[in-house]
Every structure is written in structure tokens, then in C-alpha cells.
Structure 1
Amino acid sequence: MPPRRSHKKSRAGCRRCKIRKIKCDEVHPRCGNCVKHGVPCDFEHPEAIADIQSISAASPASPSTGSRTPFTPASALDFRSPLLHASDPALPSLRAGASGPGREPCATPLYRPPATPSLSTTTPAAHRLLELRLMHQYTAMTCKTFTFTAPVTEEIWKITVPNLAFSGSQHLADAILAVAALHLRSLCPNDKDLVRASHAYMAASLAEYSATLTKGIDSSNAESLFLTAALIAFQSTATRVFMKDELSMGTGERQDGQVKERNTAAGCYAIPFTWFHSFQGVKAITAASWQWLRASPVVLQVINSQVVLQLDFTTGPDTFFGHLLDGIDEELDELGRASTQNSNMPMDGGSSSSMGAPPSSESEGRSASAEVVTSTRQAYQHAVAVLNWAHKIPHKGAPLAFPATVSRRFIELLEERQPRALAILACFFALLKSMDGVWWLQGMARREVLGVVSLFNSDFFGPDSYRKWWPHLEWAMRIALYDQPEDGGPIPAEIWGADWYAEEQALAEEQEQGNYYRHIEMLTQMISPVQSVPAVPE
């Protein structure tokens, strides 16, 4: 026989392969075995070593446990296997050919899989305990923080929603666990296990949610998609509490009211667009699936528990936030001229005056300009009307209607960093001061108002911007910096500008039943079917 080739033993393999006692190909940044099993490799993520060691300690008898991380979402774990592998150490040694007293050797396996699924030993015990902890947190505490008005909705979030998840809605189940993990994280901010769990479960929920939307909405999934969208909105909002302030904002030169170029400047405030995208996602899901949701007693109770949206589009000094529309006519005139000029500008850079623009192009340019001006005016007027309504009854959760109901055009104005849109945004965040005691809104008013106002002090708007817009920002700053008493009582009327409970009683007397229902009926005729899903929370 030829001599055996020499073999040099290597100790440079990844930690996971060492625990599983298999040969590691030592490929960086992820070894072949970790790629094959779809698990983190400590070559690429050194912080994964702690997870790998905890798995090994939790189940030392089974080397296969090293292929799972304790915080992989439930949708990715094989919790119940219909057929346990014959090499599983938890099973007796029942193999083909086994023999015993008075028995002949057998050519077929003696073990038959049980009729009911059995718990797989490849699921780490630590992971099962974590999910039990998260589910307890959700039903005992988290579900109570989703409602401000009707106690009946607490029962829905506590009992009905988990039952829907148990019936086979994986994206809803993962969303429940993600929000519960984030709530626990607010109580234990230094718990890295909860940090990983909140991100992992929400990522899994969004992936399944997106896949379900791609397949289409029907009567079987409309309820669960609506509820998942709502939990995604809560998660996106609450995640902002844990983010640091060193976020970036687009900066650059401004020309004719438009941003000519944007560069990212570290250390500047960034507008939380995830708020708007996630709440707008709930609105889009509702409109796209209303033909089924309108027959759902669960969804209707959630919708009807919201305070009735009664908007007054009266402008001027008679309304509390009417000052936010001061000077809008001059601004829109300038916008119209700029839009007409841009739409008539030749694509090849030539001079339209020398070449002569076709009459049809000029008319199209004027039409487009008029459309932009009209949509901008309506966006500002609607946003201010929502602020005026929410200012009267903020303790009922009314301010949360703002990110869900503002128009797409208003969000575009925020993306363009228009000063008027930012001043309106600052007032919206100030309204959240009324709900500062809620864990997923705690400190939000102070943080966001100070951030928005800081933009007016930057070079982005020029030296006179702060002086010009300060009268429109003063109330928001005063509310954001107000120290509420420990008993959590309402902000005094002389500071807030309205008596919450007196305004609540006045609105209740003139409230029309079913207003939200009719609003959604009208909305379904205006919104096309959902074509996108909310972004993964950062």
C-alpha cells in the first residue's frame, strides 16, 4: 500500500466547527460549514462566540446544537420535528439489525416516529425560555400600552391577537415577540440578548410579512396583516428611543427653493421617516384589504376605539396652529414660478427663449406647476388641521393620527427639508409630551423637538432662518422643555394652550358615530393596492 499522506492538524478553525467537532475549511469571512447551515461565523462576527458558547453549555450532549443561535426567530427554528433522527441522543438505540433475547436480527428499523410531533433536541433550552419570557411580557404588560381609549381593545391585543398568531400567522407571532423584546429592553437597556432578540424577530416578521403581501391579500390573511402592520408601526416608533443622536441630515446648497446637492454630515439630526412610513403602511394595508376588514369584528373594534377624527380646515389666527400657515401664499407663488421654469427648461440644456418652446410644452408646464402648488397647499392645510384637532385631546392618543393621515406630498416636503414642513413637524412632536409616560414614547417630545429646532440653527437654511421661524417654534420648545409633575397630570391649560378635559367633553357632544368607518370607506377609493412594505426598523 502507498504511504499515507502526512496531515497537518490546524487549530485555526472557527469556534462553531470546533464545538461541533467537524473540520473547518477556514475560509474567511465565513467558513463553508457556517455558510451551509446559514448561521453566524465568528470569523465574520467575533461577538457570536458568546452565543455559541451559551448554546454549547445549554446542551452539551448534542453537538448539533452548535448550529443554532439562541436568538434565531421562531420561524427559522425547527421547534417540532415530525421525525427525530436516529442518531439523536435522546432516543434509545433502535437501529436496523438490532437484536435481543429471543429475537432475530431485523433488516428494517424498529423505531417508528410518533403520531404527534416531538420537541426537537436541536432547539436550545435558552431559546425556548426566552420566548416564554417574551410571551409573558407581552400578555402581562406590553399589550396594555397599545390603547389609550377603549378597554375592550386591551382584551383584543392580549387574547385575540395571540390566538390569531397561534393559528398559523408566523409574521404576527414574530411581531408580537419583537415588540415584547423591545419593551423588556426599555426596562433592561444593557441586556444584549434582548437587543439581538428584538432585531431578529422583527426582521423575521418583516420578511414573512413581505412574502405574504407578495402572494396577495385575501379573506384568510387580511386580519393578521393589518395587526402585523400595526405592531410594525409600534416597533418602528419605539426603536427611535434607543437610537443615538449622531444621525445625519442631508446638507447642501439651496437654489430656487430646491436642494441642489445633498451631502451627509455626521452629528446632525435626522428626521425619523420610519415613523411616517410605518404608520402610512397601516393606512395602505387598511385601504387595500378593507373589503375583508370591514367584516372583521376584531379590526372594527380596534378602528372604532380611536378618537373620531374631526378636522376643521379654517385657517388664520382663530385656530391654535393657524400661524403655521402665515406667508404661505408668497411661498407658493415662488414655488409655482420655480416649477414652471424647471418644467420648461430644455432637456439638452439649450435656451428655450432662443429656440422657442412649443405652446403645448408651455401649457403642460403651467399645468404641472399648478398641480404642485395645489397639492402643496392642501398638504400644509391638512397637516395643520390635524394638529389643531389633536391639540385639544392629546391624552386620548390623538397626536398619533398625524403620521398616519398626512399626505404623501407633506412627507415629500419633509424630505426636501422645507422650513414650514419642519416647523409643523416640531409642533407634532411637542404634542407627544402628553403621552410621555408611555414607554415607547417616553422622552420623544424633548428629543425630537430639540433635533428639529437644531436644523434652523444650522447653515442649511441660512443665518436668518432661526429668527424668521422662531415665533412658529416657540410653543413646541416650551412644551418639550416642560417638566411634568411626577403624578403625570395634564399640562396646565395656560402652558398647553387648551384644557384637555373641557375640550374632550365639547368634542364628545358633537361627535358623530362611525366617522372613522366612513373615512376609511372613502380612503379605499383613493389608494391603490399595496405595492411595498415598511422598511426594517433601524
Structure 2
Amino acid sequence: MPPRRSHKKSRAGCRRCKARKIKCDEVHPRCGNCVKHGVACDFEHPEVLADLQAAAAAAQTPSTPATTVNFGSPIVPSAGSLSIASAPLTRSLPAPPMSSTTAPGHRLLELKLMHHYTVLTCKTFTFTAPVTEDIWKITVPNLAFSGSQHLADSILAVAALHLRSINPNDKEIVRASHAYMAASLEEYSATLNQGINHTNAEALFLTAALIAFQSTATRVFMKDEGLSIGTSSLTSPKPRSHHQAQAGCYAIPFTWFHSFQGVKAITAASWQYLRVSPVVTQVINSQAALQLDFRTGPETFFGHLLEGLEEELASPHPTGLDARVPLTSRPLPPRDSPETISATRQAYQHAVAVLNWAHKIPHKGAPLAFPATVSKRFIELLEERRPRALAILACFFALLKSLDGVWWLQGMARREVLGVVSLFNSDFFGPDAYRKWWPHLEWAMRIALYEHTPHHAGGGRGDGTAEGQGTGQMPIPPEIWGSDWFAEERALAEQGREQGDYFGHIELLSQMSSAVNSIPTVPEYAAMMAGARGMR
């Protein structure tokens, strides 16, 4: 057994960490553990710790009136143990004067974040729809100030994440991004549990959108330490062993789909209120109209992704089984039911139709509609690691190359496409999978590896100069991309909106979900944030 590494012991940690018997990072004015758990730190407020035991006892007494006070913490704590070590200071304490409840440093941080949001961050939401800039810059903050704590916290979280992209080594900003989003998620969940109504529907929709944005953008800061593709060309790297595949394989960013599906669910569940909201209708109307072509032949650009689908569905067993189980020892699964086969066919056809539409107008932000519009069955197919679903996923990520200048999408196409392709180079599907699926992956690889210089949107110096306010788009030559963006845009405009738009799509979703009483759950953000904390 190797000897334990020596470490320096310190008695200078905060008393809360000492009581919990965990290591304190001794960061002032609030240590990292107190920020993480949403409790006050005696570094910041040494005078309040003496009241902690009394506060905990009072909170356990039903007859004690509860007055919520926040001692400079951006976190709204969850109900839990009321031990001295973990009792939140937001319970049952008499409200002191404002000057003593919020540290000056914390107030300055929030001012800094809100200023950054209104000057720069909000512009990065509207690079494809400038008409909504005033909504995100003025209307959304005012709605938050009117009493929506979850919306206010999500604004601060997104602003902190944007600042982190500019100053990645600023630990205070990193912690603020995590803490404010955790606070927003908790309050958001509590509001959902109370029910959606005409007074909170707008704020819930906007918060869900910001949560989805944060879930997506955080991927930029994550590391797949085990992912070693080792290729910069359109040739296949050598297949890795199963041990290597298990130890360090690419992880599909399901948070993209869960969070955007959450926005879709919230929208459908509250559509009776949102459809008459001038704020929400303007945001929705600013998006490119969905004009889906469900032809399955080779005449569509991504029609090749459906080749062999009927033969696959007719086979006794599906392909692309659980990659965590060795190929030689996987039990054969039961044959899919007719209902499942039909749902699978529709999921693939719909996903490819969305790709074909987005491929025509990527500069309008169309690729970003993919995670929200695909069906739940398609997400299940991704979870099952079906090769066809993975090939479709690779093409989706390749479409993001057109938005490579947007700060939260920079490098995303290259990283994710190479990651997806690496799954075909393991023993996930056997030695012939890469050879079989390469014709369907070649375009995605070519686009992912294409070198160009996009105009930046909200990146660069972040100081409001031209570098920080560009469009985020750079047309890729038609001979590389496979079509002329602007010619396709004109053609779609001539066709009009007869094939459907987002309003019609949402109306249908609302009707389909009208009989469902369950409220959408908070996106699976905790696991993502746990991974992102490794970037500190």
C-alpha cells in the first residue's frame, strides 16, 4: 500500500466546516463549502454564528414565526437537517437592517454581474434575432425585479458564466456561476411544485430558457480527460480496446437534450398563458419557421441517414446495445413491439427532417432547435447507443460549426463530432461498425475539421468592442457545406410558412400534453455542475 501523501493541517478554517469535519479552503469572505451549500460563513459574518443554535431550535418549533433573511448568500437552501453544522441562516432569524445583511463585496459582485448581463451577455442570445434584444436586456431583468427570484438568479448565473469565458481563472466568478444557478434551480422547482398560473408562466418560461442555455454553455468548460481521438484527418484511428473504451470514452452531452426538452415541456404545459404574452410571443416569432420535409429518399441532404432503416427495424434484434457491457457477453434483448418500432421509425424520420431544415439556414440559429424538437424516443435511442442515432447526432453537432463564433459554441462542433465518431472506433458495435457507418459520418467530420475564422459573438475581450459584438457566423463555402445558405433562405421565404411554424408546433404540443397532470421536472443539472467543478 503506497504511503499517504503528507498534507498541511490548518486550524484556520471556518467553524461550520470544522463542525462538519470537512476541509475548508479558507477563502474569504466566504469559503467554497459555504458557497456550495448556500449557508452563511463566519468569515463573512462572525457575529451570527452565535445565533445558529438558537435559530435551529426556533426553526424546529412550529409556533415560531419564520422570517426569511439572506446573509449575502446567493443560494436558497433546501429543506434538510437542522443540525448546528448545517442549519441554514435563512430560517427564523429576525431581519436585521439591510446594511448588515449583505456584505459590500457581495453587492458589488451582483452589480457587476447585472451590468455585464445588460451590456454584453444579453446580446449573445439575440445574434440571430436582434429584434428581441430589448426583451432580454430590459424586459427580462424588470420581470425578475418584480419578484421572480429564480429568474433573477438565472440571469446572474448566466452573466457569471459569460464572465468566466473571459476570465477562466477567476474562482469567485466560477463559484458565483454555480451558486446562482443552484439557487435558481431550487426556487424554480419550488415554484413549479406550487403550480403554473398566469402570474408566473412568463418567468418560468424565461428561467427554463436560461437554464437550458447554462446547461449548454457549461459544456465549453468541461474536460473529457479520457477522450483521446488523436486524429486530424478523415481517416480512422486504430480501434481501442474495450478497457480503454470503458475507462475513457466520450460522454454524450445529454444535458443539452434534457434542458431543452424541459423548455418544451414548460412551454406546452403553460401555453394557455404564454400564447397571450407579448414577451413570449415575440421571442417565439423571432425564430425561423419550422419547414420540415419528411421525404426519406436520397433527394434530401441527410436522406442517407435513413438508408437501411426498414431492414434494421425488421431485424429480430436492434443494433447498438449498451456499450457498458462487453460485446461478447451481451444478452440478446427482446424484439421491439410494433408500437416501439413505429415510434423508432418516426423518431429517426423527424430528427433527419429537422437536420435537413437546419442545414439550409444554419446562420439563423436553426441547428439550436434540434435538441428541443427531437422526440423523447430519439433521446432513448441515443441512450441505447444506436449507431444510426449517433450518426444523426454527429451531423447535428457538425451543423454548429456555422455558429463557431458564438462564445458558448466555440470549438463545440470539432469536439463533439470527434467524440461521437470515437464511439464507432471502439468495440461498442464490433469491428465493422466504423466501416459501415463512415459514409454517413464523413460530412460531419469534414465540417468539424474545417478551419475558418468566424465573426465573434459575445466573445473576445468582452468589453463591448466590435470583437465582442459580432454575428458569430461565417458562411462556409457551398462546396464544403453542401448548399448555399442565403439561396436556401430565399427559397424557404418564397415557400412561406405553410408547412408549419413554432406557434403551430407548440399548439400541437399543448394539446397533446393537456391530459398530463405532471409538472416538468428540473433538468438534470447537478451531475453536469459536479463535472464542471473539476475545471476550477
How big is the alpha-carbon RMSD for the aligned residues of Structure 1 and Structure 2?
A: 3.2
Unaligned regions of 5+ residues in structure 1, if any? 1-10, 18-23, 25-29, 36-42, 86-117, 250-260, 339-364
- Kindly provide the CA deviation profile for residues 304-324 of structure 1, in whole angstroms up to 9, marking residues without a partner as x: 111000100001110000000
Partner of 1:142: 121
Partner of 1:289: 270
- Is 2:321 the partner of 1:322? no
1:410 to 371, 374, 378: 378
2:479 to 494, 500, 504: 494
Map 1:110-509; keep pairs closer than 5 Å. 118-246=97-225, 265-335=246-316, 369-485=337-453, 489-509=474-494
- Report the CA distance shift for 1:451/1:429 in structure 2 as closer, same or farther (over 3 A): same
- Kindly provide the CA deviation profile for residues 139-193 of structure 1, in whole angstroms up to 9, marking residues without a partner as x: 0011011124332211100000001100110100000000000000000111111
Amino acid of the structure 1 residue aligned with 2:311: E
Tell me by how many angstroms 1:384 deviates: 0.3
Amino acid of the structure 2 residue aligned with 1:213: L
State the distance in 1 between where 2:451 and 2:133 align.
30
- Report the CA distance shift for 1:16/1:122 in structure 2 as closer, same or farther (over 3 A): farther
Tell me by how many angstroms 1:125 deviates: 1.4
- Report the CA distance shift for 1:262/1:523 in structure 2 as closer, same or farther (over 3 A): farther
State the distance in 1 between where 2:44 and 2:450 align.
58
1:515 to 494, 498, 501: 501
- Report the CA distance shift for 1:512/1:269 in structure 2 as closer, same or farther (over 3 A): same
The answer (yes or no) to whether the contact 1:210–1:533 under 8 Å persists in 2 is yes
Tell me by how many angstroms 1:335 deviates: 4.9
Higher radius of gyration, 1 or 2: 1
Q: Following superposition, which runs of at least 4 residues in structure 1 exceed 4 angstroms of deviation?
A: 11-14, 50-55, 58-62, 65-71, 74-79, 81-85, 261-264, 335-338
Secondary structure at the counterpart of residue 220 of structure 1: coil
- Report the CA distance shift for 1:47/1:266 in structure 2 as closer, same or farther (over 3 A): farther
Amino acid of the structure 1 residue aligned with 2:503: Y
Amino acid of the structure 2 residue aligned with 1:411: I
Tell me by how many angstroms 1:336 deviates: 6.6
The answer (yes or no) to whether the contact 2:28–2:43 under 8 Å persists in 1 is no
The answer (yes or no) to whether the contact 2:260–2:371 under 8 Å persists in 1 is yes
The answer (yes or no) to whether the contact 2:255–2:524 under 8 Å persists in 1 is yes
State the distance in 1 between where 2:378 and 2:244 align.
22
Stretch of structure 1 that moved more, 420-429 or 150-159: 150-159
Partner of 2:74: 73
Secondary structure at the counterpart of residue 162 of structure 2: helix
Tell me by how many angstroms 1:61 deviates: 11
Partner of 2:13: 15
State the distance in 1 between where 2:266 and 2:448 align.
33
State the distance in 2 between where 1:376 and 1:486 align.
37
- Residue identity over aligned pairs, in percent, reads 69
Amino acid of the structure 1 residue aligned with 2:116: Q
Partner of 1:101: none
Tell me by how many angstroms 1:511 deviates: 1.9
- Is 2:29 the partner of 1:44? no
TM-score normalized by structure 2?
A: 0.75
Tell me by how many angstroms 1:435 deviates: 0.5
The answer (yes or no) to whether the contact 2:72–2:102 under 8 Å persists in 1 is no
The answer (yes or no) to whether the contact 1:14–1:31 under 8 Å persists in 2 is no
Tell me by how many angstroms 1:50 deviates: 4.5
State the distance in 1 between where 2:30 and 2:423 align.
45
Unaligned regions of 5+ residues in structure 2, if any? 1-8, 35-40, 53-68, 78-87, 229-241, 320-333, 456-472, 530-536
TM-score normalized by structure 1?
A: 0.75
State the distance in 2 between where 1:426 and 1:217 align.
36
The answer (yes or no) to whether the contact 1:172–1:227 under 8 Å persists in 2 is yes
- Report the CA distance shift for 1:263/1:450 in structure 2 as closer, same or farther (over 3 A): closer
State the distance in 2 between where 1:53 and 1:473 align.
47
- Kindly provide the CA deviation profile for residues 13-55 of structure 1, in whole angstroms up to 9, marking residues without a partner as x: 66324xxxxxx9xxxxx444xx6xxxxxxx4143244444899
- Kindly provide the CA deviation profile for residues 365-406 of structure 1, in whole angstroms up to 9, marking residues without a partner as x: 99x711111000000000000000000000100001110000
Secondary structure at the counterpart of residue 426 of structure 1: helix
1:533 to 513, 522, 529: 522
Tell me by how many angstroms 1:445 deviates: 0.3
Partner of 2:46: 63
- Report the CA distance shift for 1:189/1:69 in structure 2 as closer, same or farther (over 3 A): farther
- Report the CA distance shift for 1:222/1:53 in structure 2 as closer, same or farther (over 3 A): closer
Amino acid of the structure 2 residue aligned with 1:180: A
Tell me by how many angstroms 1:124 deviates: 1.7
The answer (yes or no) to whether the contact 1:336–1:372 under 8 Å persists in 2 is no
State the distance in 1 between where 2:23 and 2:366 align.
43
- Report the CA distance shift for 1:62/1:285 in structure 2 as closer, same or farther (over 3 A): closer
- Report the CA distance shift for 1:262/1:422 in structure 2 as closer, same or farther (over 3 A): farther
The answer (yes or no) to whether the contact 2:291–2:357 under 8 Å persists in 1 is yes
The answer (yes or no) to whether the contact 2:361–2:489 under 8 Å persists in 1 is yes
Tell me by how many angstroms 1:224 deviates: 0.3
Secondary structure at the counterpart of residue 479 of structure 1: helix
Higher RCO, 1 or 2 (CA under 8 Å, sep at least 6)? 2
Secondary structure at the counterpart of residue 248 of structure 2: coil
Tell me by how many angstroms 1:467 deviates: 0.7
Secondary structure at the counterpart of residue 120 of structure 1: helix
State the distance in 1 between where 2:31 and 2:353 align.
56
The answer (yes or no) to whether the contact 1:51–1:69 under 8 Å persists in 2 is no
Tell me by how many angstroms 1:63 deviates: 3.4
State the distance in 1 between where 2:268 and 2:226 align.
33
Secondary structure at the counterpart of residue 434 of structure 1: helix
Secondary structure at the counterpart of residue 287 of structure 2: coil
Aligned length: 435
Amino acid of the structure 2 residue aligned with 1:207: E
Amino acid of the structure 2 residue aligned with 1:303: I
Amino acid of the structure 1 residue aligned with 2:352: V
The answer (yes or no) to whether the contact 1:226–1:285 under 8 Å persists in 2 is yes
Amino acid of the structure 1 residue aligned with 2:24: P
- Report the CA distance shift for 1:169/1:335 in structure 2 as closer, same or farther (over 3 A): farther
Partner of 2:60: none
- Report the CA distance shift for 1:337/1:429 in structure 2 as closer, same or farther (over 3 A): closer
Amino acid of the structure 2 residue aligned with 1:312: D
